[in-house]
Amino acid sequence: MIHVDAAVEVRRQEQMTAENSDEERSMPALAHAKILVAVRSRRAQTAIARALAYLGDLTVVDDGWSCVRLAHERSFDLILVASDLTNMKGREAVLSLRGESRLAQLPIVFLADARDRASGAVAGDRRLILLPDEPIEEAKLVYVVMKLLAASEEEAWQALPERQRIALVAARQLYDRLARQRGHLSGEDMELVRSTAASLVRLVHEGDAGELLTTLHAHDDATFAHTIEVAVLLARFGVALDVPAVDVHILSQAGLLHDIGKLAIPLPVLVKPAPLDAREWAIMRRHPGLGAELLRPVPEVPRTVVAAVESHHERLDGSGYPGGLKGSEIDDVALLTAVADVFAALTDRRPYKRSMSPDEAFKIMREMSGRHLEPGFTDRFIEVVSA
């Protein structure tokens, strides 16, 4: 049975992974980041392991000396240090790590007690984020770790060709700005959306979009990467369909904004490091309507973009959401966005699921065609992406 949208398919794979054997849950291909955890409390170790298991391969120690020694001997993508350690306290371990040139820029999460938070000893370190040591907020921890890992990956953008680098930096700045505003968008913000969409459209015309998508495929900020991928796919689709240039730009704008409602979803639901339960799914499924509510009062946002945001999870047979629309009741740009969104969600790499190949995704999309996805758009999209 095919689910009504790609997000459900992604979560279905996540659920299958969670229910399968321990061997499958610890597949190294899914846990790509190497994270050193220096925490003394067994309860805290358990909470951290539960929160970060999807994000990386964890090495856990309970004393500061072992933390510093392993950091020198091995290569880690991120270190998480708590204040209360044996042999060497957490703050001393952090300062020791920062004293080594090779480790000076390594991302660190410091679970600091009240005394260390007040000391200011690590103030000004932009690659270090302080969190309270008690209680450990798992959703906040996941968000912070993803943010730090993503920032490290984005340093590699400096080696990309100039147009790709400029487009990605602009997209990142736009996404971060909207995230800070919880999705609230002004006319000035919409100008940034238009300019970012234009830079992505230029890359499509110049044939450089494929390399940009490859770069995004390895990104740790899944929502950001998915957003930009859908915008690029819609621009490619529009160019291939030979639609007017203004409409290609509107398609790319729709891609950039299609999941803006997720920025208004509570963080514990948005970044939960486990399958969502029924209550959380009900909250998550509100994001198309929330996105439309955020955009509708802004006159600079094209109405068809608002329709795409609100209806990209609607399905031809009426089984979608939020309105249960059918067939011709669904805006064409929303139908196009749905096709790109499904493909991107199925082929996205996630820590908790393997990435589907395009051919695997095409098979599922063909099964969804007619009932859930518009068949003409689906067939043409597959032709474009396969070329």
316 or 33, which is more confident? 316
Place of tokens 């001393």: 92
- Note the residue count of the chain: 387
Q: Looking at the predicted structure, is the pLDDT value of residue 335 above 50?
A: yes
Task: Output the pTM of the full model.
Answer: 0.82
CB 358 within 8 A of CB 275: no
Task: Check pLDDT > 50 for residue 235.
Answer: yes
Alpha-carbon distance values, 16 to 19, 55, 117, 352 (Å): 5, 17, 41, 10
Q: What is the pLDDT of residue 187?
A: 92
Q: What is the architecture of the domain spanning 31-151?
A: 3-Layer(aba) Sandwich (3.40)
Residue 214 binned pLDDT confidence (cut-offs 50, 70, 90): confident
Which one of 17-21, 100-104, 229-233 scores highest in mean pLDDT? 229-233
Using DSSP's 3-state secondary structure scheme, residue 6 falls into helix
Task: Classify residue 155 by its DSSP letter.
Answer: G
Q: What is the pLDDT of residue 118?
A: 81
Token pair in block for residue 336: 């196009």
Contact 296, 307 (CB under 8 A): no
Q: Average pLDDT in the 118-123 region?
A: 74
Please give the span between the terminal C-alpha atoms of the chain, in angstroms, as a whole number: 29
pLDDT of residue 260: 97
Instruction: Flag whether pLDDT at 261 surpasses 60.
Output: yes
Exposure class string for 344-376: b at 16+ Cβ within 10 A, else e: bbbbbbbbbbeebeeeebbebbeebbeebbbee
CATH of domain 160-386: 1.10.3210.10
Question: Of 203 and 151, which is predicted with more confidence?
Answer: 203
Query: Is the separation of the CB atoms in 373 and 2 below 8 Å?
Result: no
Q: In which residue are the tokens 């945001």 written?
A: 309
CA distance 39 to 61: 6
Higher pLDDT among residues 376 and 27, named by residue: 376
Taking a C-beta distance cutoff of 8 angstroms, is the pair 381, 240 a contact? no
Segments making up each domain of the chain, as ranges: 31-151, 160-386
The partner residues of 79 in beta bridges, in order of sequence, read 36, 108
Q: Are 133 and 83 in contact (CB under 8 A)?
A: yes
Burial class (CB in 10 A: 0-12, 13-18, 19+), 139: middle
Equal fold, 31-151 vs 160-386: no
Whether the pLDDT of residue 25 is over 80: the answer is: no
Q: What's the pLDDT band for 121 if we cut at 50, 70, 90?
A: low
| Residue 229 reports pLDDT greater than 60 | yes
Helix (H) or strand (E) holding 37: strand 33-38
How far apart CA 309 and CA 323 sit, in angstroms, is: 12
Q: Quick one: pLDDT band at residue 216, thresholds 50, 70, 90? A: confident
Q: Which residue did the predictor score with more confidence, 155 or 245?
A: 245
Residues with Cβ within 8 Å of 2's Cβ and at least 6 positions away in sequence, in order, are 9, 364, 367, 368, 371, 372
| Position 330 pLDDT exceeds 50 | yes
- What type of residue sits at position 371? R
Whether the per-residue pLDDT at 387 is higher than 90: the answer is: no
CA distances from residue 216 to 7, 156, 166, 223 in whole angstroms, order as listed: 18, 11, 14, 11
> Which of 251, 242, 265, 349 lies closest to 309, judged by CA?
251
Task: Kindly state the percentage of the chain with pLDDT values over 90.
Answer: 66
